[in-house]
Amino acid sequence: MSGASINAGPVLAVVLALLAVLAAVVVWRGGLGDGRHVLLAAVRAVVQLAVVSLVITAILRSGWWTGLFVTFMFTVAAATAARRVGSWRELPWTATAIAAGVAPVLAAVLVSGTVPWRPIAVVPIAGIIIGGAMTAASQAARRALDELRNRHGEYEAALALGLLPRSAALEICRPSAGHALIPGMDQTRTVGLVTLPGAYVGMLLGGASPVQAGVAQLVVLIGLLAAQALAVLVTVELVAVGRLNPPGEPRR
């Protein structure tokens, strides 16, 4: 083990277990939710990363396996976003929103040669961009749907004034849904001042120079901004035209 590596020994297991329990207790005692969900998320992370660690070497040896793995990541992201919205029937639409953000960004960085066509480079970049688009899309959908539900009277009033359903819905939900972009923008604004994000730290631990790590992190951060903006835009449009709906409510 090098001096910059994390010690993957018994002490690490104890520390991670204590941190997971601490988070669960805080959530439970603080009335923030069900602490069991925190523990379940931690256990899932351990199992999933263990499986990925075992198979990633084989995946990175083949371009076909890499493509399948990226497709699998995208499918899980779309399914997770659909579940957050509230129903599996929304899967095609959450997939559309996420793809709208992911596809242009990956195409730009790969076709331009900014990111090499090598599995070891494609998998982490794709995973970060897909994950960011997933989070932004699911948060935007939840915010937009909550606004339409809570301000339904204003929506009806806008219709009475002659606005079309899409325009009325956009007036109500678009500003709130845009808040889903705030975490990504804050991370980009404060990079290097408040945080040293994962791509930067990972490359440093892997032996890259600070300049190389900084360039890679810029590609990730600015790519995320673009992917999340596109994903949120498409998500809001899907909500406005009634494709993404709260569970149990008819499509407009």
List average pLDDT for each run of 10 residues in the chain, which is 252 residues long: 60 88 90 87 88 77 84 92 82 93 93 86 89 92 85 82 82 82 83 68 67 79 92 91 63 47
Contact 99, 43 (CB under 8 A): no
State pTM to two decimals: 0.77
Closest to 245 (Cα-Cα) out of 92, 97, 86:
86
Residue 204 CB coordination number (10 Å)? 16
Contact 128, 199 (CB under 8 A): yes
Residue 171, phi then psi, degrees to nearest 5: -60, -35
d(CA 223, CA 217): 10
Q: DSSP H helical segments within 60-151, as ranges?
A: 63-85, 91-111, 119-150
Helix 152-160 vs helix 119-150: angle between axes, to the nearest 10 degrees?
A: 80
Contact 115, 109 (CB under 8 A): yes
d(CA 155, CA 121): 46
User: Which tens digit of pLDDT belongs to each residue from 9-54?
Assistant: 788 888 889 999 999 999 888 888 888 898 999 999 888 888 877 7
pLDDT of res. 251: 45
Under DSSP, is residue 227 helix (H, G, I), strand (E, B) or coil? helix
pLDDT of res. 207: 65
**Measured CA angle at 15 (ends 188, 214), to 5 deg:** 25
pLDDT of res. 206: 65
Q: 124: number of CA atoms within 13 Å, CB side?
A: 14
Contact 227, 100 (CB under 8 A): no
d(CA 224, CA 124): 13
